[in-house]
Chain A
């Protein structure tokens, strides 16, 4: 199994809703990432988990809350989002945290729309 999966593919939520994005990989990778991508822009790093521990938070607003329940799963909990948070949310994984040649593999993404 050489892929990263994400659910749901599409999500529409109101500004008062609470929802969660899920990511799963079974490649034995020990680093997992959340990125946000707006149209015609490159992916923007949000969070990094290394060995199931949060190692990087790129000053992301607290309405985004990441969670790594185990080495295969990564969640992103969403609460009180704003319309400008609408974007493609990408999960990625890589084999060993911290290596210079660490290839990151992306999941298909969740297209989020905040009304």
Chain B
């Protein structure tokens, strides 16, 4: 099992809908998680961090962590075409991050 797994997509959602991005992780990954957004040809941009069980909200973004199920998700409400990007889930913290392979999100007009 890979340490951090994501569905590569593409995930297509209509404009205004909720996009749900998911990530699972193995026991070897520590308990801090990060979501990065990466536009094509650009560098990753940190959009959410989550360290404890439950939900964390920031604007249109909600990160959810369920340690019992080893599951992390990112919800994007009122999706906009500008949200179209690859979303990378990363686990670890400390000095090493383990990245998933990323999910490509397409928000369609």
Q: Is A99 within 8 A of B93, CB to CB?
A: yes
Interface residues of A in 81-115 (CB under 8 A from B): 88, 90, 97-109
Contact residues on B (Cβ < 8 Å of other chain), bracket: 20 to 34
A48 CB–B CB distance under 8 Å? yes
Instruction: Give Cα distance in the complex from A45 to B102, angstroms.
Output: 16
Q: How many residues of A contact B (CB 8 A)?
A: 25
Q: Is A105 within 8 A of B46, CB to CB?
A: yes
A14 CB–B CB distance under 8 Å? no
Q: Is A98 within 8 A of B34, CB to CB?
A: no
- Given contacts A43-B99, A45-B97, A48-B96, whether A103 and B30 have CB atoms under 8 Å apart is no
Tell me if A's interface is mostly helix, strand, loop or mixed: loop
Q: Is B45 within 8 A of A41, CB to CB?
A: no
Residues of B within 8 A of A (CB): 30-32, 34, 36, 42-46, 49, 51, 88, 93-97, 99-102
11 contacts between A and B (CB under 8 A): A42-B99, A45-B97, A50-B95, A97-B95, A100-B30, A100-B32, A103-B34, A105-B46, A106-B43, A108-B42, A109-B43
